[in-house]
Structure 1
Amino acid sequence: MSQKLIECVPNFSEGRCKDTIDRIAAAISVTKSVKLLDVDPGASTNRTVYTFVGGPEDVVEAAFNAARVAQQLIDMRNHSGEHPRLGAMDVCPFVPVRNTTTEDCVDCARRLGERLGRELDVPIFLYGFAASADYRRSVPQIRSGEYEGLAARLGQPEWRPDFGPAESRPAWGASMVGARKFLIAYNINLLGTKEQAHRIALNIREQGRGPGQPGRLTGVQGIGWYLDEHNLAQVSVNILDFEVTPLHRVFKECCSDAAKLGLAVAGSQAVGLLPLKSLLDCAEYYAAEEGLMLLDEDQRVRLAVDRLGLASLGPFDPKQRVIEYLVDSGVAGPLAGLSVGAFVRAVGSRTPAPGGGSVSALVGALGVGLGAMGGLLTYGNRRFEHLDGKMRQLLPPMYSGCRGLLPFVDRDTEAFDAYMAACKAKAEPAKQQELLRDCALVPLELAREVAARWEQLEELAKVVNLNCRSDVQVAAKCMETAIFGACCNVRTNLVSVEDADFKAKTDAEAEELQKHAAEKCQAVLKLLDDRKE
């Protein structure tokens, strides 16, 4: 199975001294099994955001190593910058990335916080999902009064730190360590003043101007500042949940307010890394608004980058700024990433996996891919211009479906390997049965995913460019074969399952999927055979 991954994004209060920035980065990089993804310093904010990933134990170790170096190099008594701050390591959140939960991140936050307080002797506040009380759950709540007001605050019983001394450490300040969802730090560039930027920030941020004067955007924090190095102002926001308030919504709201003030917007800036989905959601919005059809992921990402103006202050390379692209070497797993020859040799070797399940997944992906190819060779062709509207409906689910099936090539083998490992380790019978049910459910899910594409293939067969007739015929047979193979795999894995109810329901669904596939395949083939030039 894929390794557990947690993202850690510590923000250190130094953005001008290259030596300090580099030494903190080195402390992270040398930590075993941790990958440093991004270092994003800001001179005006005097702050650097580091982003790295690793297993739960590893990210805690790397964060501590970075803090230990920072304690030697950063003195908050000499610090100034546009960004609010509480301490040398100002905030240090843990974020679940893969095969991990918020609970795992809360555990990381508590372990790091305890160690920082004990070994570095500095005050630590837990926040986010790790918070010890509701009134100190968010960063603005804890950071109120900033570094300058910290000594007085620590004297109040309700603001006793979760770890470390309840007294000031002037050179360090205090740190906030927490667990949260993926937060996006995002700035909109204004050709105006700091005061105008802050006015817009007050309008849009959820907190607004205070009690009784809320802002317009849920889950958005914001302030305005000025960047001397770029000679412009910024509305600087934290988007706490981009699926609730997406990037394009924040950008458009800022543009609307800027227009009312007679200000020009000069693009925007992402600080640190972005989740891929945040850009794809933007692309989907702009494509719908402008009547565009974009199938390739890189084209959709490019559209989002262009419409948001993310390259306005410097190059924006998605391969270096999107977390999924940095964490994963490719969209496919170890089997799906093999060459054709290597995969065939792996299948033909004297091992039970990869076997029929993985082959069925590949055949299904090829079938749906052939259907997409037929559509693409029809779309945009002047002879079939009258079909462009229909192709715009049929192509997206076929195109995405093809790519969505590839992970099943590895998932099937991973499920089987996990079951065999449990048997070899003489795991509890209940655990073995759970893993055996997974072995049946993975190919069942594969069959469902392939079956979901019959509707588009059948419609495509009615109108597709007849130069692609044989391609769509092969597509139909591949899809039928994939479902047949997946259902055979389901039944094989059900033999030793002891849960009679699960066994009966799963077998019945597999039987229905296989029957439906045979009928749909024949329908598609007949449509193509009956069509004349």
Structure 2
Amino acid sequence: MPKIVECVPNFSVGRNKEIIEAIAGAIAAVEGCNLLDVDPGASTNRTVYTFVGSPDAVIEGALCAARVAYQTIDMRMHQGEHPRMGAMDVCPFIPVQNVTMDDCIVCAREFGDKLAEELGIPVYLYGAASTQEHRKTLPQIRAGEYEALPEKLTKDEWKPDFGPSDFVPSWGATAVGARTFLIAYNINLLSTKEQAHRIALNIREQGRCKEEPGRLKEVQAIGWYLEEANMAQVSVNITDYEQTAIHTVYEEVCKDAEELNIAVVGSQVVGLVPLDAIMACAQHYMEKHNLFILEEDQKLRLVINKLGLNSLGAFSPKERIIEYMISDEREGPLASMDIKDFILTVGSRSPSPGGGSVSALAASLGAALGSMVGFLTYGNKKFFELDSQIRKLIPPLYKAMKDLTPFIDADALAFSEYMLALKLPADSEEEQAMRSAAMQDGLCTAIQVPLTVSRLTNGLWDPLKELAKIGNINCKSDLQVGVRMLETAVWGAYYNVKTNLDDVKDEEFKKKVSEEIEGAIKIAQENCATVLKTLEERKA
């Protein structure tokens, strides 16, 4: 998997289309940078850019954007609703794929150093990149905003991390940091700016002061007025969405608004949002209203409706959810194939895809048939009294169906990894050692894939045994085929594991894996027989 870092610089320009487009063009022109989103705001006079790429690429992309801003933005002329202190006001680096927070700290410090050196401007580090507690957060660093900088820069405690302590009137100062994913989220109110800010003070962690903290952890918020939309907003940054969810913020604002007799008219995601943050909202509303929804797109529709995310413009998941943005295909090439093409590919003169990929497909199909039987029982008037039980049986089968599908490609990739190791040079002793180590790593990967398939498959027997007792009897043959497919999938995993184990040198590893896969076969055989027996004995 490639290393992917997200960069989300905020520039103090939101009304000049030419400057906004010039900055976007500078980022997009950098090889390896993928510009995902440009979100300008007229009232805030601020534009948020979101792009991803390798660590080196995003550093270069941010530098190119800053160069354009240096030539085109003059902070002496800037006015806007959003707090700000510089032309490039803030530039965070966020880990997305195959990178750590430490990697992003390195990005932030390297970028901050280069930015200050090239442009001669003061740069402060914040978030995980900062080492000073009194200037760890953006509100701490931005206190007093642009207007406070001339005096602030003269104080020892506010000496920049990079660059001069000189005030640069046209630029101001920039905060560069490393952080986890931040969700910028606004709730729309038919109210005054003052009323919106009053609610913001109630909910944000900082509250009004130390003696009057707010209700929600990891939440920053202010109230402002959108002239272009003729309404106010509680503008929120959720710095840890696992601690405080989007729906929690929305409902807390709704509660305060109701007490003040203020209408809430939807909300707005600024920039991008992680898929699991949206799915957490879906789960909340499903539980709250006792809904049974499994399809991802239906969960998205539920959240969009409940939060009113279309209120200021269409919320397109493909353009707002980061996982959808950074991957053109959420499935691998094999899983995405037409059925006919997949069969022909398996049947071609090539060792991959082979038995491992077919076993993963069999497991996914077996789970799919179990899920189908559940759905053909649920909601059926004849089985209405079973709905509460069936609602518990379908989700694990449906989830496994989707979770097993990527292993169709994973098995082929594992085989490729081993074949690449075989082709490494082995002329010197050092090369031989490296080749041997790479081959052993490849074998272990090739073993772990089918082993995981067997684990996921064997995790389905409990719901399947229950479904065999109460499921729609008209689907008897479908469930019989399904469990046979699952048993076959475990047999496939068994043969693949055993084959690869022959060449593994780690005897302890061999013994442990061998015992597990031998046990997996027994589990699959016994449980498959139990389900089939139950189905044969059922009369109705």
TM-score category of the 2 structures, normalised to the smaller one: over 0.9
Instruction: Rate the CA distance shift 1:215–1:428 in 2: closer, same or farther, 3 A.
Output: farther
Aligned position for 2:427: none
After TM superposition, give the deviation of residue 343 of structure 1 in Å: 1.8
Where structure 2 has 5 or more consecutive residues not aligned to the other structure, the ranges are 425-430
Aligned position for 1:508: 515
Aligned-partner residue type, residue 402 of structure 1: M
Give the Cα–Cα distance (whole angstroms) in 2 for the partners of residues 56 and 443 of structure 1: 33
After TM superposition, give the deviation of residue 134 of structure 1 in Å: 2.4
- Please say if residues 279 and 305 of structure 1, whose CA atoms lie closer than 8 Å, have aligned partners that are also in contact: no
Matches within 5 A, 1:49-60: 49-60=48-59
Aligned-partner residue type, residue 270 of structure 2: V
- Please say if residues 132 and 162 of structure 1, whose CA atoms lie closer than 8 Å, have aligned partners that are also in contact: no
Q: Does the residue aligned with 2:89 lie in a helix, a strand or coil?
A: strand
- Say whether residues 1:259 and 2:258 are aligned partners: yes
After TM superposition, give the deviation of residue 81 of structure 1 in Å: 0.2
- Say whether residues 1:473 and 2:480 are aligned partners: yes
Write the deviation string for residues 79-126 of structure 1: whole angstroms up to 9, x where unpaired.
Answer: 010000111111111111122221221122122112111112221112
Instruction: Rate the CA distance shift 1:124–1:431 in 2: closer, same or farther, 3 A.
Output: farther
Stretch moving more, 353-362 or 37-46: 353-362
Give the Cα–Cα distance (whole angstroms) in 2 for the partners of residues 470 and 404 of structure 1: 24
Aligned position for 1:457: 464
After TM superposition, give the deviation of residue 429 of structure 1 in Å: 4.2
- Please say if residues 36 and 53 of structure 1, whose CA atoms lie closer than 8 Å, have aligned partners that are also in contact: yes
Give the Cα–Cα distance (whole angstroms) in 2 for the partners of residues 14 and 97 of structure 1: 27
Give the Cα–Cα distance (whole angstroms) in 1 for the partners of residues 535 and 190 of structure 2: 59
Residues matched between the structures, number: 532
Q: TM-score, normalised by structure 2?
A: 0.96
Give the Cα–Cα distance (whole angstroms) in 2 for the partners of residues 42 and 312 of structure 1: 15
| CA RMSD across the alignment | 1.5
- Please say if residues 269 and 311 of structure 1, whose CA atoms lie closer than 8 Å, have aligned partners that are also in contact: yes
Write the deviation string for residues 157-186 of structure 1: whole angstroms up to 9, x where unpaired.
Answer: 222222222211111111111111110001
Stretch moving more, 42-51 or 381-390: 381-390
Aligned position for 1:15: 14
Give the Cα–Cα distance (whole angstroms) in 1 for the partners of residues 373 and 395 of structure 2: 13
Identity of aligned residues (%): 55
After TM superposition, give the deviation of residue 396 of structure 1 in Å: 1.4
After TM superposition, give the deviation of residue 428 of structure 1 in Å: 5.9
Aligned-partner residue type, residue 237 of structure 1: V
Aligned position for 2:347: 348
After TM superposition, give the deviation of residue 262 of structure 1 in Å: 1.8
Aligned-partner residue type, residue 476 of structure 2: R
Write the deviation string for residues 212-271 of structure 1: whole angstroms up to 9, x where unpaired.
Answer: 322111111111111111111111110011111000111111111111222111111111
- Please say if residues 375 and 395 of structure 1, whose CA atoms lie closer than 8 Å, have aligned partners that are also in contact: yes
Aligned-partner residue type, residue 416 of structure 2: D
Give the Cα–Cα distance (whole angstroms) in 2 for the partners of residues 278 and 359 of structure 1: 33
Aligned position for 2:363: 364
Give the Cα–Cα distance (whole angstroms) in 2 for the partners of residues 502 and 354 of structure 1: 26
After the TM superposition, which segments of 4 or more aligned residues of structure 1 sit over 6 Å from their partners?
Answer: none
- Say whether residues 1:164 and 2:133 are aligned partners: no
Give the Cα–Cα distance (whole angstroms) in 1 for the partners of residues 517 and 510 of structure 2: 11
After TM superposition, give the deviation of residue 466 of structure 1 in Å: 2.1
Instruction: Rate the CA distance shift 1:419–1:174 in 2: closer, same or farther, 3 A.
Output: farther
Aligned position for 1:232: 231
- Please say if residues 86 and 175 of structure 1, whose CA atoms lie closer than 8 Å, have aligned partners that are also in contact: yes
Give the Cα–Cα distance (whole angstroms) in 2 for the partners of residues 155 and 363 of structure 1: 69
- Please say if residues 208 and 215 of structure 1, whose CA atoms lie closer than 8 Å, have aligned partners that are also in contact: yes
Instruction: Rate the CA distance shift 1:134–1:419 in 2: closer, same or farther, 3 A.
Output: farther
Stretch moving more, 330-339 or 425-434: 425-434
Give the Cα–Cα distance (whole angstroms) in 1 for the partners of residues 352 and 132 of structure 2: 50
Write the deviation string for residues 44-90 of structure 1: whole angstroms up to 9, x where unpaired.
Answer: 00001111111222111111111111111111110010000111111
Matches within 5 A, 1:313-462: 313-425=312-424, 426=431, 427=434, 429-462=436-469
Instruction: Rate the CA distance shift 1:107–1:422 in 2: closer, same or farther, 3 A.
Output: farther
Give the Cα–Cα distance (whole angstroms) in 2 for the partners of residues 514 and 138 of structure 1: 54
After TM superposition, give the deviation of residue 422 of structure 1 in Å: 3.4
Write the deviation string for residues 6-35 of structure 1: whole angstroms up to 9, x where unpaired.
Answer: 211111110101111111111111211222
- Say whether residues 1:282 and 2:289 are aligned partners: no
Q: Does the residue aligned with 2:90 lie in a helix, a strand or coil?
A: strand
Q: TM-score, normalised by structure 1?
A: 0.97
Aligned position for 1:126: 125
Give the Cα–Cα distance (whole angstroms) in 1 for the partners of residues 228 and 197 of structure 2: 19
Aligned-partner residue type, residue 493 of structure 1: N
After TM superposition, give the deviation of residue 430 of structure 1 in Å: 4.2
Stretch moving more, 325-334 or 512-521: 325-334
